[in-house]
Amino acid sequence: MLTFADRLNLLFRAFLRPPDERGERKEWSNLQVARAAETVHGRSVITREHLRMLRNGERPRPSVETAAAIARAFEFLSQSEPEPGRASAIVAYLAIDPTEASPDEVAQVESIHQQLARAVDMRENKLLGLMARLGDLEDPESLDEIRELVTRLEDKERSRRGGFLRRHRR
């Protein structure tokens, strides 16, 4: 059975921060998620310490209101908030307690969990698959072309990130 900590930690892995100057995407901190929940709800809903305890399993699960606030914080941070009044799969994912839920609700939570886990796995493993394919190339001309392509892509991404960073620093 999926614990609240399992589900919450998967959200932290699934909803990463935008790329930094080096193009790396990292998890949001407990403090950032707590502040986002406060922004969305207009008041303090959860502290970073409470999030830490939920993530470590020191607290089994929060109230439905707090679980929904955490989910909405991730939607806010990822800029994927649903329209007001519209149901959110992420809210359901955190708010439904599988130990007290109907079989249909448990199936819904498990389905969302599998989709998120697959997305995280694809993001984390796609680079490994590409690297394995590149490892088969031996021709010096092919390797030079790969270096040139990577350099062009790095320049292109750096340029885009620069625009992203300028827009979000205002």
Of 105 and 129, more confident: 105
User: In the chain, what percentage of residues exceed pLDDT 70?
Assistant: 87
In whole angstroms, what is the distance from residue 137 CA to residue 83 CA? 48
Residue 84's pLDDT band, with cuts at 50, 70 and 90, is low
The residue type found at 58 is: E
In whole angstroms, what is the distance from residue 94 CA to residue 82 CA? 16
Q: What is the mean pLDDT of the chain?
A: 85
Residue 80's pLDDT band, with cuts at 50, 70 and 90, is low
pLDDT of residue 159: 78
Highest mean pLDDT among 134-138, 146-150, 160-164: 146-150
pLDDT of residue 162: 62
